[in-house]
Amino acid sequence: MLEAIEVMSLNLTGMSVLTEAATGAYAVTPVIAALAGAQGVVAVAAAGRHRTSEDIAAQTRRLAAAAGVATVVEVTEHLPASAKLAFDVVTNSGHLRPLRRSLIERLPAGAVIALMSEAWAVRDQDIDRPACAERGIPIVGVDVCHPSIDVYPYMAPMSAKLLFDAGIAVYRSRIAVLCDNPFAEPIARGLAAMGARVQVLTSVEALPAGRWDAILCVFQPQRGPAIGPREAGIIAARAPGAAVAQIWGDMDRSSLAAYGVRCWPLAPPRPGHMAILLSEIGPEPIIRLQTGGLAAAERVWRHGHIDNDPLVQLVEPPPAG
């Protein structure tokens, strides 16, 4: 964490941060903020599907204590009830989402939202963008391809882990990567380097009939499922026997099951969420990503609108009306 803070010149001195408490690799976010000099960090611990809020709070506190910042990181189960909040940076993190108008209206002038991902990945269901626009609160994305972060190359090992768990060897496997976003190239390049025979397609309709071992789905969330009844039928007809591995993009699993198509992972993610996270391959990519997200937000908080900072990606305000 200290190395990432130094590499990205993250300096939160004098700033106050609202973020999430978490388990596993994502527990680093409030600790990174504190190590970077934040005068106060509030981390919200909300119960998840597999962990109680008490478990989440305990793990975050243990990591903060091990890092020597236990007195800076305050872990709580609820957002502060005060009419006005004094946070300079609010992270778009799982246990805080959605960031609703009721929260955004209580933030001080000059506050920023740290998207903690690239600007193109913003989801309207996560952040009330009109409320941010009305308050003049910027939503700050981060260029994860910046050399100091360089997260995209981790996408291929994460994809390989998902495929391994699904029983796909990757080496010499025929893999169709269905992807409509910038994740396609690093995933395909990495899997090909491992010996897979990879073809990238932007839609299910483009899938050619063949002897496919796996269909890797990486679709940006949309209003309906990326794989619905029609798409399930196409996959069954053109890739009989192939496993469908879900990274991102909702799927109608009942339709896939009706056609006898095997899905992985067995448990579906929540709508709009990824089925596997970079934390599955270790803490390094998460440390880089979270530090970079905070660094981009800090630069905008200190300097205002930035046009020429290679780390910063500002999310465009929603269309009027």
Give the CATH H-level superfamily of domain 2-149+282-314. Answer: NAD(P)-binding Rossmann-like Domain (3.40.50.720)
Question: Is residue 50 over pLDDT 70?
Answer: no
**Entry pTM:** 0.92
Note the pLDDT tens digit of each residue in 195-249.
999 999 999 999 999 999 999 999 998 888 999 999 999 999 999 999 999 999 9
Question: Is residue 123 over pLDDT 80?
Answer: yes
∠167-269-237 over CA atoms, to 5°? 55
Question: Is residue 49 over pLDDT 70?
Answer: no
Distances (CA, A) of 37 to 63, 139, 208: 16, 22, 54
pLDDT of residue 321: 60
Q: Where in the chain are the domains?
A: 2-149+282-314, 167-264
Question: Is residue 82 over pLDDT 90?
Answer: no
Note the pLDDT tens digit of each residue in 12-35.
999 999 999 999 999 999 999 999
Do 2-149+282-314 and 167-264 come out as alike in CATH topology? Answer: yes
Mean pLDDT on 33-53: 90
Question: Is residue 69 over pLDDT 90?
Answer: yes
Question: Is residue 40 over pLDDT 70?
Answer: yes
| Mean pLDDT over each residue of the chain, to the nearest integer | 95
Note the pLDDT tens digit of each residue in 144-182.
999 999 999 999 999 999 999 999 999 999 999 999 999
What is the dotted CATH code of the domain comprising 167-264? 3.40.50.720
Distances (CA, A) of 267 to 245, 251, 276: 12, 12, 11
Question: Is residue 108 over pLDDT 90?
Answer: yes
- Strands in 16-20's sheet, in edge-to-edge order, are 73-76, 40-44, 16-20, 89-91, 112-114, 139-142, 312-314
pLDDT of residue 93: 94
Mean pLDDT on 91-103: 93
Least confident of 168-172, 231-235, 268-272, 290-294: 268-272
